[in-house]
Amino acid sequence: MTSGTYLVTGGAGYVGGVVAAHLLAAGHAVTVLDDLSTGFREGVPRGARFIEGRVQDAARHLGGGYDAVLHFAASSQVAESVARPEKYWDNNVGGTMALLAAMRGAGVRNLVFSSTAATYGEPSRTPVRETDPTAPTSPYGASKLAVDHMIGGEAAAHGLAAVSLRYFNVAGAHRAPDGTLYGERHDPESHLIPLVLQAALGRRDAVQVYGDDYPTPDGTCVRDYIHVADLAAAHLLALTAAAPGEHLICNLGNGNGFSVREVVAAVREVTGLPVPESPAPRRPGDPAVLVASAATARDRLGWRPARAALTDIVADAWAFARRDGA
């Protein structure tokens, strides 16, 4: 791929920041647009131009000269979306609508969108394929599905070349060529692997297990975990995967699911530390099993995960969690 100039919305967050770091390492020019509502200024990789602002105001910042937009800016908590659906329609749908209008006005005709396997809801089969029915069980998943429909219409009507990447649980950490370690950090934290690592480190009393009566082998939810560096590689491949007027949807996953209790066991194995568990009620909107088939990503993007083992993912996340002050 020849060097390009890219806008990364939400690039101060976990996944957006790692993708921005990969773009820079590949020799591209990167601008990050982020309002820092959930991201961190130090999460923006060195070498990227930074604009503090909302994606709803993208028209102020998106001039000519950008080859593509990689769109990560969104609210992404399932439980919060059930309690505050209006926030998700405003941020995820309204924000993307404003971004598409800004791209149209600036003549930027390439988009890679950070979608989610939550668009499928409770899948009728696993692994989930892109042709399977979409029936999201939360406003979060519904808002992301609405954006996918919006992007499809934009591609058909206005010649946008777009790729939506649907994934669920991203974990691990990435070490950039300059030695900077980029890992998962939210305030408050809500993702399983960092929560389990915090319990191992004694930073929380126990890890809460939300539901132990799901129709799964050990009663806990099963998810497909992807290493964040593998995910970033897929985003770079997606930049040139779609033709003008095409909206390509690709699932990303390892094809294997791991339950909550298997994740806890992997953390105990990697760290050698005890991890106390605390039972908790099911969270609204959580499907029992969500595992994605990545056959389309393999065929269209040439993508295969290089770090598929759960213990490898946990080990990289562990390295980030042990940083001073983390």
Using an 8 Å Cβ cutoff, are 165 and 15 in contact? no
Tell me which H or E stretch contains 290: strand 289-290
Please state whether 302 falls in left (phi above 0), alpha (psi between -120 and 50) or beta. left
How far is it, in rounded angstroms, from Cα 314 to Cα 219? 22
CA dihedral 249, 255, 259, 261 (to 10 degrees): -130
Angle, helices 260-271 vs 192-200, to 10°: value is 40
Do residues 162 and 247 touch, judged by C-beta distance below 8 A? yes
Single out the catalytic residue among 6, 14, 88, 140: 140
Helices (runs of H) and strands (runs of E) counted in the chain: 10, 16
| Active site annotation includes 140 | yes
CB 284 within 8 A of CB 317: no
Residue 187: how many other CB atoms lie within 10 Å: 7
CA distances to 23, 114, 234, 262 from 66, rounded to whole Å, are 14, 18, 20, 43
Q: Which residues are catalytic?
A: 140
